[in-house]
Structure 1
Amino acid sequence: MMKSISMKVNPLYSDMDMSIQFHFEFSKGDCKVGEAMVSTYPLNGEVTYRKSQGGLSAKQEKCAVIDHFEVVQDLTKPCMTKLTHFLNVIGMKEIHSGYDLQLEATN
């Protein structure tokens, strides 16, 4: 089921709150089945240091906040799985919901 859903990612930069935002579009075949908006933020100045070939590198830990998630009801779970997998791959340490997912799903 998850392979039949494609996900398009459009990164955006927000000057207002100095965050990187991602707009996701989910589709199945030629039909759009939903979209989501996610903002990313640094986590309280947490920095991880690691040794690399070029010396010591620093990486700031980040979290993601799902600001908007609207998907056709029966595809909610596979789309959310794709979304969270992407966020984990790009290194989000934490993923939070900016709203109640259950409340929006019932409206």
Structure 2
Amino acid sequence: MKSISMKVNPLYSDVDLSIVFQFEFTKGDCKVGEAMVSTYSMDNGVTYRKSLLVPAAKVDKCAVIDQFDIIGDLEELCMKKLQHFLKVIGMKEIHAGYELNRKESM
């Protein structure tokens, strides 16, 4: 996974009140693809946690992959990297709202 670099640009969408992440994948100096992911709060997904100081509410969130365009046979590697990032930032569920698009050249 280290041969592919991933640049993340978070954006806020006023339209649907979500955080949208724009991803750019590169291998060396060459861009090999890009992705767009929207994140949303899940209905009835509030979990209350007790911390040492005050009780806190955690809202469960999900991610929807809106766009995923990767060159050649790097799709699986880029998708693993993308899913790992989404799990690290706390996405409980990840859904695909796209059709996989292969690009032979960018």
CA shift, 1:73, in A, is 2.1
Greater share of helix residues, 1 or 2?
1
Q: Secondary structure at the match of 1:43?
A: strand
- Alignment: residue pair count: 104
In 2, the alpha carbon distance for the partners of 1:39 and 1:25 equals 15
Q: Secondary structure at the match of 1:21?
A: strand
In 1, the alpha carbon distance for the partners of 2:28 and 2:103 equals 25
Matched residue, 2:70? 71
Q: Secondary structure at the match of 2:2?
A: helix
- Pairing 1:93–2:92 present: yes
- Measured on the aligned residues, the alpha-carbon RMSD in Å equals 1.5
What 5-or-longer segments of structure 2 have no aligned partner? none
% identical equivalent positions: 67
Divergent runs of 4+, >2 A: 104-107
One-letter amino acid of the counterpart of residue 96, structure 1:
H
TM-score, normalised to structure 2's length?
A: 0.92
TM-score, normalised to structure 1's length?
A: 0.91
